[in-house]
Structure 1
Amino acid sequence: MSHVPELLAPAGDMLSLKAAVENGADAVYLGVKKLSARAYASNFSVDELEQAIDYAHLRGVRVYVTVNTLIKDAEFAEAAETLQTIAAYGADAVIVQDIGLLSFLREFLPELSVHASTQMTVHNTESVRLLEGMGVKRIVLARELSLGAIRSIRNRTQTELEIFIHGALCICYSGQCLFSSMVGGRSGNRGYCAQPCRKQYVLKKNGEEVNVKGNFLLSPKDLNTAEILPQIIEAGVSSLKIEGRMKRPEYVAGVVNIYRSLLDRYATDPAGYFVSEDESRTLEQLFNRGFTHAYLSGDPRLELMDHDVPYNRGVLVGTTVSGRSGRGYVSLKLSGPLNIGDGIGFSYKGMGENVTNMFYKGKSITSAGKGMVVDLFLSNPISAGTQVYRTSDISLLRSMERSFNSQKPARRVSVRIELTAVKGKNLKICLEDSDNNIVKVISGYIVQASQKNPTTEINIKKQLLKLGNTVFYPASLEVRSDLDIFVPVKELNNLRNSAVQEMEKVRIKKWKRTFENFTLSSPPYRGEKTGKPLLSVSVNTLDNLLCAADEGADLIYFGDENFRSYTKATLKEAYDIAVVAGCRIYLATPSIVWDKELDELNSLIQEALKIGFCGVLVGNLGVLREVQQLGHNFIIDHNLNVFNNRSVLFYHRAGAEAVSLSPELTLEQVSSLGTYGTVECMIHGNPKLMVIENCIVGSLLGGENDTCCIPCRDGKFLIKDEKGFEFPLLMDEHCRTHIFNSRELCLLDDISSFIKAGVFRFRIEARYMDAQKVRLVVASYKNRIHQLISEQRTSHLSCRDISDRYTKGHYFRGVL
């Protein structure tokens, strides 16, 4: 048999956990309330967690606990206590996003294995190596990687790799999305995503609406890799992850069951692998927004998105041959089976209901088949010719429910049983399971010689094989006994039950850990919050650089996602402008850099530093490791989601000159972080809300062929939501889409509050401003800072004077 990776299933609650285990999952991942990136799932309380872990471990299933949110300083002590409890209960690993929490775990709880969450946006080999060096056992890779890219990372690193194989997709690189929090105050990075990608938008070009097919412009299809499972296995990943902690238990049961069958089929005969029509239909029926391989098979272009349907579309079951304008009966010609209790929807319109009655030729029926014309009473107005979709199949759901609600478990553990019955000696039993756990139990009963009816080997085996509804089944049974002995049935039953109970305890207890209680204290301050306020400005053109430098910028971050457009001559000219103006200049690097792009970026970094650039603005973990290896000076960009003092300290200890903080922090939280190192806050500019590997404009206007006609180069594009807010789009040279906020961030009126809070580095994001605007904004902030330092008030400019539409972001409102 061929080796297959672990099948990892979601468990949003105890029923889903049972559904996953009973249908063949090798491992489950589940969340603890308040510490999970699926905060709206039921999740487990700390008290429920031990029961869940014990249930899984008894049945030979691993448990990974998701602690994959960004942690506020005020939450850290509780998080640390919860993590120690998780470790004590025997969790096999925790899944972590926060770099501060990760560094804490490696220092204080090294016994607990750590998996790096997909929220860490790990998408290149150097990122994997950095986390590998920190002792991370497994990396959950970004969903945007192709099988070729995954295979390349596998061949160059040692850490276990995990990828998603089924379920809902994030359209944005996970960990790089601020859309939900900026629009509604609910942070996807903290588990409260409001799913703005499933909302309706209108595309606009050069200010005019563009007529496109569908309005759900950011809504991807669901991932389904059943067809390409062999290629995924052969790419060398260690774990195959099913998304769905917010799905019902029947969904978990059905999807796990099918992928278990597919993996076992591959293991038995890789060359004969196939997916049956029934298996495909079941996956489609359980839940689908349309299916895609996403990026695993390469650039999906048009195959990634469904601009019409952001919800479960179901399976086509028929077409109405008569309709009504209101409530009443309609006739439906069936193209598939339909039952009372099924859920149905209509032509992807979002409205649906349950089938409560059904008539065929005037007679009430409970089920109907393909080709029949049936009459249904519907609450929704339906016209003739409307396609009807079965969104839930009651018979399938009941079947799935039976798979995990039966009194007799489907998931069982094999044991070898050996009984010794020797006259004059205590009755003994030995159980050994498939994990080499051994239990020996000696009865108080002393084996007697038979007086009338001897206990035969057949009699003994009959009782010992009665393992009933336990999780064990006998792989072998050996009886070593004298002839003509007598053992009461009660003694055999008691001994068997005692051995089974002891084996259950052993299988659970072996994973438990004990710790000395510790009180978490805050890390020591790095220094006093003093210094001269510095104004940094991000620019991507020489004109904007010149404007920023002329108006008094102290630091320049030069560059953007299109780093290939910068030649040696461009870098030299940028450096000369900065030097003449007395600015320090740094090379800004992208947040997303694939392996195939790293060498070229490294060459650019080397060239910039040779020219005289002061260092590098680092936007992802892979570039961080590259810069560290070369011994270069660097500043951490806000893409790395620094949310707490331990993250600030981690990056400073790694060699950072300064750390740009997450824009989701409040000013109060920022104030406390300034004592742990040199921090920087973005105070003006258009915040980036999403980075999307797929080109949104290209998928809508780029033509039907495999090659896009690059419509993004012909005009300025934005998307408008249902409330009329407009979000600019930028497509870079790699055909990635960058979505920006509808409102400009402006804190000009609040600079004094930042200085009082101990913040002395302020960032203006000017890469997407025109030159005149750059001059106005930089001059306004420079003057305000000078006034505050000199205690003179000569200018009365405010945010209203420099920004048409602005927001103060999260600094005074915070996020969930």
Structure 2
Amino acid sequence: MNKPIELLAPAGNRNAFLAAIAAGADAIYFGLEEFNARKRAENIKLADLPFLCATAHVHQCKCYMTLNIIFFEDEFELIFSLVGKAVEAGIDAIIVQDIGTIQFLEQNFPNLAVHVSTQVTTHNTAQIDFLAQFKNVTQINLSRELSLKDIELINAKLAEHHLKSEIFVHGAYCISYSGQCYMSALLYGESGNRGECVQPCRRAYTVDYAGNDEKQTEFTPFNLKDNCAFNVATELAQTGADSFKIEGRIKGAEYVWAVVSAWRKKLDEIGCGKFHEYKLMKKEEVDINKFLQGSFNRGFSDDYLQGRASSVMFASQNGKADEKNKSVFHVGTVISYTADTKQLVLRERNKTKGNPGYGSNIKECGLPIGTKLTIRNPDASFVCSGEITKVISKPGLKTGSATYEFHLTSKPNPDNPLRIARGQVVTAQPLLISSDKLKKLCDVIAASGNRALNDKGVNGGVGINIIVSGEIDDKLTAEFKSLRGKSIIVNSESLLSKAQNRGLSKETLQSKLCAFGGTSYELEQLDCSGIKGMKDGESSLFLPLKELKSMRRLAVKKLDELQDTDTKKQNNNSLQPSKPSPDLVDMSPVDSKAENVKNKYAVVYNNLEALEAERNTKTRLGTKEYEISYRILEIPLEWTSQTEDYVLTHRDVIPLFSAILFAADLDRAERLLSKFSKGQLVWCENSGLAYLAQKKGLKVIVGSNLNATNEHTIETYKTLLGCEAVVLSPDISTEKMVSLQKYSKIGTTIWGYLTSNQLLMQSKQCLVKNIPDENGKLCLKKDCDRDCLLKCNRRVSFKDLQNNHLIGVNRPGFYSALYKKEILNRQSLLCTPYGEKLNAIVNTWIIDARKL
């Protein structure tokens, strides 16, 4: 057997949580109603958390709660309260994006494991060194853009720090580097880094060039297929991955059950499972292809893992609109619908090509109860969606017409009154498991959870799961685990030896090791899969029976002691923090005049010519002149010798390094850092490079892509990187800036943008290839490769359907990027009384002079 790999499942609600357990998940990640990256999901209610954690632990399944957003200054008291209640409910770990929140949790909940979210954009080994400084971090979710080779390199670094890696293997791709997408926030006021993303990358756009007609062809240029690592699962396991993660907290229980079931079977087949017992359904019932193809998907790709960023990763080829859900199949057309009786008559077609759910001819069998239908007009405009609740008549062999009872599930649209009419097109989502069967599976799981809430087994005793392991010439080990996850481990005195006659069997273990008569405990489940060589409940190993009895007596004694300790804790009230809750931030406005603050100004350039042209000490912006304290030069991923010589000989020029630095680019940037004199200021948008710079004695400016939005994060960067300054995140509004205390109390200076090109996202993919240029041309190159990255200068203008104007830019040496056409400018704001408060907080204002 290979190293076991954790199967980590999503749960956006209670039913999905239970379905994940039923399907064999090793761990489940979920969000509560507040503070998570999927606010659109139903999410888990805090009141249900003790039940769900107890239920999961009965089935040896761990619970990971998400706090995977950035936080503002006034939210940390709420975080403290929420995490305290979650710990009390029994969570095993917490998934975090905000760097300051990791430090906050380490201080206040030192025994709580923290998993670093994919929103931190971890993609190089130096970032691992940076994150390893946190004592509470145990697992890190790596960026989706990594190749198998990249992952293997990073996993080796993780192993050095005794950390685990977590890899997304299934579900939606984000086209932007996760955690660095500001598109939803800057266009629609709904921040992806706050869990509010409205998925603008899935939306339609039109070109934006002078002289074009108002009626433009709509296209979806950023819509990627879904990630699916199924075909490279073995290779991915061989990189040293510890956890395979499935995306899908917005999906329903049926999706979670089907996809987790398929991946459970796959992990077991490649020898990386945990000998999952298929108790609730037969193993042969899990049809991998049917379950994956029949669950919602936009088409599948594993190109990033293969080291490619190809055009076939796009769900919409050449930007043309396409069916979003590739799992649906065409049923036929509407003949009639009677609203009073809810009877829907369909003409069903013979062939169901590409349908993984029902075979090849639905004329012979019809559609089963529970099938979800979508009805559209012939022009593809949406009419309604609903579910078949009764089969009234199956399809006739001649006409192909069938009658169903059809209950609507979509909400009525007041602007487009519902009218199901003859000739409308009907599609269906394959029914992978009936609602009744899934409910029964979940009910079995829930029943064990209800008992576990009081640590009670079926007959009222404290339910105990026993996990036994061992091999010849080693001691027998038994873990006794209560239904709430409390556990103790006991070992035999003697070593296991080869049996002369009948060896150690599951039946013997059950009668001797698990005989709890006369105690307050009862056996819930015995797992002997860890005994090497045991097959069909029999083994060739020997251990004296008296040893088994001694192990049981010792276990009962330890369990009693554990129960007494828990009782004392309950009598001393609930969870108490290891440190008191931090004081609330002083929100009173700062009197900038009293402090006599004098702000500084910095200018950012992206070419030497522009920088050299403004070597004087002042710069003009509109009608106002500013005295410049700092000049910054943005450094491409590969630079010329002229650029290198310039920054090495002009110590007053601060080099600005990119946010995305894969292995080779990180090495190149580190070599340049090594040539700087100690004390040189360097601006780092990547935490790994910032870590390396600090180790080399350089002074670090933490860039805006590292998403500092609160004082805990600023203080953490100061502590771990010794940074001179922190540039505030694009996700912090001017209102939230005012909530930060005076920078002198933090111990580092705060920088903010006075004017800026408003970056919406960067991507490993080409963001402009599917958008026509002003001549109507598309880029037809198949792969976005290194050559594109270093040489392409394609630029396009386009707009969304709300008339927001955007530009897509490929700059040689930089990743493909989208910008809002409107330039951010806070000049007029700083002339107001509100601006005086900002001036007292932001020490240095940045003027963005980069030409796109």
Classify the TM-score, shorter chain: 0.7 to 0.9
Question: In structure 2, what is the equivalent of residue 286 of structure 1?
Answer: 295
**CA separation in 2, counterparts of 1:23 and 1:286?**
14
What secondary structure sits across from 1:616 in the alignment?
A: strand
**CA separation in 2, counterparts of 1:535 and 1:356?**
65
What secondary structure sits across from 2:708 in the alignment?
A: coil
Q: Is residue 2:525 matched to residue 1:472? A: yes
- Call closer, same or farther: CA 1:623–1:353 in 2, change over 3 Å: same
**1:387-428 CA distance string (max 9 Å, x none):** x54224275554434332347979999xxxxxxxxxxxxx99
State the Cα distance separating 1:602 from its structure 2 match.
2.1
Amino acid at match of 1:402: K
Question: In structure 1, what is the equivalent of residue 308 of structure 2?
Answer: 299
Question: In structure 2, what is the equivalent of residue 332 of structure 1?
Answer: 349
Deviation larger for 707-716 or 228-237: 707-716
State the Cα distance separating 1:586 from its structure 2 match.
0.5
Question: In structure 1, what is the equivalent of residue 479 of structure 2?
Answer: 436
Q: Is residue 2:328 matched to residue 1:315? A: yes
State the Cα distance separating 1:57 from its structure 2 match.
1.7
**1:339-376 CA distance string (max 9 Å, x none):** 354223469765553465999xxxx534799x993457
**1:423-462 CA distance string (max 9 Å, x none):** xxxx99998555622799xxxxxxxxxxxxxxxx99x99x
Q: Is residue 2:708 matched to residue 1:642? A: yes
**CA separation in 1, counterparts of 2:564 and 2:351?**
52
**Correspondence for 1:167 among 166, 171, 184:** 171
Question: In structure 2, what is the equivalent of residue 693 of structure 1?
Answer: 764
- Call closer, same or farther: CA 1:530–1:101 in 2, change over 3 Å: farther
State the Cα distance separating 1:21 from its structure 2 match.
1.2
Amino acid at match of 1:754: G
Question: In structure 1, what is the equivalent of residue 803 of structure 2?
Answer: 724
- Call closer, same or farther: CA 1:352–1:668 in 2, change over 3 Å: closer
Question: In structure 2, what is the equivalent of residue 521 of structure 1?
Answer: 582
Give the total of aligned pairs: 701
**CA separation in 1, counterparts of 2:815 and 2:200?**
19
**CA separation in 1, counterparts of 2:214 and 2:664?**
35
- Call closer, same or farther: CA 1:399–1:729 in 2, change over 3 Å: same
- Call closer, same or farther: CA 1:318–1:762 in 2, change over 3 Å: same
Question: In structure 2, what is the equivalent of residue 546 of structure 1?
Answer: 612
- Call closer, same or farther: CA 1:376–1:535 in 2, change over 3 Å: farther
Query: Which consecutive residues of structure 1, in runs of 5 or more, have no partner in the other structure?
Result: 414-426, 441-456, 482-498, 770-816
Q: Is residue 2:373 matched to residue 1:344? A: yes
**Correspondence for 2:658 among 590, 596, 616:** 590
Q: Is residue 2:438 matched to residue 1:400? A: yes
What secondary structure sits across from 2:311 in the alignment?
A: helix
Deviation larger for 103-112 or 113-122: 103-112
Question: In structure 2, what is the equivalent of residue 492 of structure 1?
Answer: none
**Correspondence for 1:747 among 802, 805, 826:** 826
- Call closer, same or farther: CA 1:290–1:275 in 2, change over 3 Å: farther
**CA separation in 2, counterparts of 1:305 and 1:203?**
19
Q: Is residue 2:664 matched to residue 1:626? A: no
What secondary structure sits across from 2:167 in the alignment?
A: strand
Question: In structure 1, what is the equivalent of residue 495 of structure 2?
Answer: none
- Call closer, same or farther: CA 1:433–1:710 in 2, change over 3 Å: closer
State the Cα distance separating 1:313 from its structure 2 match.
3.4
**CA separation in 2, counterparts of 1:438 and 1:93?**
18
> 1:759-778 residue pairs with structure 2 within 5 A?
759-768=842-851
Question: In structure 2, what is the equivalent of residue 227 of structure 1?
Answer: 231
**CA separation in 1, counterparts of 2:16 and 2:663?**
38
Amino acid at match of 1:176: Q
State the Cα distance separating 1:263 from its structure 2 match.
0.8
Asked if the contact 2:30–2:66 (Cα under 8 Å) also holds between the matched residues in 1, the reply is yes
Amino acid at match of 1:281: K
What secondary structure sits across from 2:270 in the alignment?
A: helix
State the Cα distance separating 1:381 from its structure 2 match.
5.8
- Call closer, same or farther: CA 1:354–1:751 in 2, change over 3 Å: closer
Question: In structure 2, what is the equivalent of residue 263 of structure 1?
Answer: 267
Indicate the structure with greater helix content.
1
Asked if the contact 2:265–2:286 (Cα under 8 Å) also holds between the matched residues in 1, the reply is no
> 1:385-534 residue pairs with structure 2 within 5 A?
389-393=427-431, 395-406=433-444, 432-434=466-468, 436-437=479-480, 472=525, 514-516=575-577, 518-522=579-583, 531-534=597-600
* Cα RMSD, aligned residues only: 4.7
Q: Is residue 2:385 matched to residue 1:353? A: yes
**CA separation in 2, counterparts of 1:197 and 1:507?**
55
**1:448-484 CA distance string (max 9 Å, x none):** xxxxxxxxx99x99x9999xx9953687999x99xxx
Question: In structure 1, what is the equivalent of residue 533 of structure 2?
Answer: none
Amino acid at match of 2:835: F
What secondary structure sits across from 1:592 in the alignment?
A: coil
Deviation larger for 550-559 or 18-27: 550-559
What secondary structure sits across from 1:9 in the alignment?
A: strand
> 1:122-137 residue pairs with structure 2 within 5 A?
122-135=122-135, 136-137=137-138
> 1:102-141 residue pairs with structure 2 within 5 A?
102-135=102-135, 136-141=137-142
Question: In structure 2, what is the equivalent of residue 95 of structure 1?
Answer: 95
What secondary structure sits across from 1:175 in the alignment?
A: coil
**CA separation in 1, counterparts of 2:68 and 2:684?**
22
Q: Is residue 2:667 matched to residue 1:599? A: yes
Question: In structure 1, what is the equivalent of residue 636 of structure 2?
Answer: 562
**CA separation in 2, counterparts of 1:396 and 1:704?**
45
Asked if the contact 2:147–2:306 (Cα under 8 Å) also holds between the matched residues in 1, the reply is yes
- Call closer, same or farther: CA 1:692–1:438 in 2, change over 3 Å: closer
- Call closer, same or farther: CA 1:571–1:297 in 2, change over 3 Å: closer
State the Cα distance separating 1:267 from its structure 2 match.
1.1
State the Cα distance separating 1:657 from its structure 2 match.
1.1
Question: In structure 1, what is the equivalent of residue 393 of structure 2?
Answer: 365
**CA separation in 1, counterparts of 2:462 and 2:23?**
35
- Call closer, same or farther: CA 1:211–1:7 in 2, change over 3 Å: farther
Which entry has the higher C-alpha Rg, 1 or 2? Answer: 1
Amino acid at match of 1:659: V
**1:240-269 CA distance string (max 9 Å, x none):** 111111211121111111111111111189
**CA separation in 1, counterparts of 2:28 and 2:118?**
16
What secondary structure sits across from 1:437 in the alignment?
A: strand
**CA separation in 2, counterparts of 1:86 and 1:63?**
10
**1:653-711 CA distance string (max 9 Å, x none):** 32111111123223343232433231011121221011111002335633264577969
What secondary structure sits across from 2:808 in the alignment?
A: strand
